[in-house]
Amino acid sequence: MKKTIIPALLLLFAMATASYAQFGKLKDALNNGASSLLNSKQLKLLQNQPITTNFDDCNKTELMPPSFGADSVKKKLCDLKSSYSATEGFNLKPGFYTGTFKSFCLQAGTHGPDKGNGYLFAPLTGPKEKIARTLIANWEQHPEIEQRKVQLLLWAIVAKTNFSKLSADLQLTAGVLLNKNDISALGSTIVDYLSAEAMTKLTSNLPEPAKTIIEIENKIRGLMYQANASYDQIESLAMLGGIAPADPDFPSGVWGLHPDGYYIKYLPHSYSKTEVVIYVPKSAGTIKFLPVGDVAVPVSRGCQRLGQSNLLVCSE
């Protein structure tokens, strides 16, 4: 009897051991799969851009060379401020106009403006387009707010930052320029700061410049969550050094056709100031020019997209 029981017990033990090993491996496989799925979701969230405006959105066929209108007399928009309306902008009759407006960087991890690259008009687009537009538009009514603070909030949006973790000062600024629904809507794209090891795992197979942009956005999130981080530190991350290669087919100062029937060229002084020159042909009649919601898009995808505001620079 004992001889019969002992082999049976050994057989049961062996079966149990084998089953444990099989289920243990299955459990490990499931855990690995869940980890990969999580990483896949994280990567997708990191790659989704809140602001998507890029050179593909530009009219690249109806252009005029930089030399067009070089000898023309251009009316200064600063001299026409009395006719400006915050809801409709400037009423411009046929002719040439010029003005410099305050602008914003809408793509961190890229080169700043340079004199070699042409810029064309494109509309502000993307999942967070409405919030970014509202932020810039409402700033016009609050001149007491520094441009730098608005820029930090825009970088926070493009870097998918959790606004509830921003400094009290920036949260206060966001509360002035955005309503609760806008701030709540930002929660759909927020990402926590990820360690260098996690970023390496997530971005190891990504091509450039996407990999660099995602890594820099992560570093910006890390700084945004530090109460003592300075604007200069964040700016140094957002702006890459060097100059992006120029495209001879789209030189600096090239004129592009706006959907409203006038031609416009962008001459950035920096990411924070953009000079615009406008030509209204007779065929267009009188047009309304309200820059907010417009983006000066560089030919080079490695340069910063510049979101335009309604605020003219007239004192310099």
- Strand ranges, E, within 42-116: 63-64, 74-76, 90-92, 95-105, 110-111
Please tell me whether residues 34 and 101 are part of one structural domain: no
Please tell me whether residues 291 and 264 are part of one structural domain: yes
pLDDT of residue 273: 97
pLDDT of residue 128: 94
Residue with the bigger pLDDT between 168 and 205: it is 168
- Reading the block at residue 76, the tokens are 């200064």
- Reading the block at residue 175, the tokens are 């509360």
pLDDT of residue 245: 73
CA 301 remoteness from chain centre: 12
* Residue 217, pLDDT above cutoff 50: yes
**Mean pLDDT, rounded, of the chain:** 85
Please tell me whether residues 87 and 74 are part of one structural domain: yes
3-class DSSP assignment, residue 187: helix
- Burial class (CB within 10 angstroms; exposed 0-12, middle 13-18, buried 19+) of 259: exposed
Local confidence band at 46 (pLDDT 50, 70, 90 cut-offs): confident
Mean pLDDT over 272-295 rounds to 97
Please tell me whether residues 39 and 63 are part of one structural domain: no
- Reading the block at residue 73, the tokens are 């007399």
Please tell me whether residues 42 and 158 are part of one structural domain: no
Per-residue pLDDT reduced to its tens digit, 109-125: 888 887 778 999 999 99
Q: Cα separation of 248 and 117, whole Å?
A: 9
Tell me the three-class secondary structure of 200-260, residue by residue: HHHHCCCCCCHHHHHHHHHHHHHHHCCCCCCHHHHHHHHEECCCCCCCCCCECCCEEECCC
Please tell me whether residues 264 and 118 are part of one structural domain: yes
What does the buried/exposed string (b/e) look like for 156-168 if buried means 16 or more CB atoms within 10 Å of the residue's CB? bbbbbbbbebbee
Mean pLDDT over 8-27 rounds to 38
Mean pLDDT over 133-158 rounds to 96
Q: Which residue reads 């997708």 in tokens?
A: 44
**% of the chain beyond a pLDDT of 70:** 86
pLDDT of residue 191: 80
**% of the chain beyond a pLDDT of 90:** 61
pLDDT of residue 43: 72
* Residue 313, pLDDT above cutoff 90: yes
* Residue 37, pLDDT above cutoff 70: no
Which H/E stretch holds residue 270?
A: strand 263-270
Please tell me whether residues 201 and 151 are part of one structural domain: yes
pLDDT of residue 19: 36
Q: How far is CA 57 from CA 53, 60, 187, in A?
A: 7, 9, 27
pLDDT of residue 316: 59
Q: What pTM did the predictor assign?
A: 0.84
- Reading the block at residue 138, the tokens are 């409402």
Please tell me whether residues 82 and 191 are part of one structural domain: yes
Per-residue pLDDT reduced to its tens digit, 51-99: 999 999 999 999 999 999 999 999 999 999 988 999 999 999 999 999 9
- Reading the block at residue 299, the tokens are 């030919």
Please tell me whether residues 127 and 217 are part of one structural domain: yes
- The number of beta carbons lying within 10 Å of the beta carbon of residue 106 is 28
Please tell me whether residues 30 and 104 are part of one structural domain: no
Please tell me whether residues 74 and 19 are part of one structural domain: no
Mean pLDDT over 282-291 rounds to 96
Q: How far is CA 74 from CA 121, 255, 258, in A?
A: 20, 15, 18
* Residue 27, pLDDT above cutoff 60: no
Residue with the bigger pLDDT between 44 and 34: it is 44
Domain boundary among 47, 67, 84: 47
Q: How far is CA 152 from CA 192, 239, 246, 287, 292, in A?
A: 17, 13, 28, 33, 18
Please tell me whether residues 154 and 197 are part of one structural domain: yes
Do the Cβ atoms of 136 and 307 come closer than 8 Å?
yes
Among 304, 301, 291, 239, which residue's Cα sits nearest to residue 97? 291
Range of the domain at 136: 48-312
Structurally, the chain folds into a number of domains equal to 2
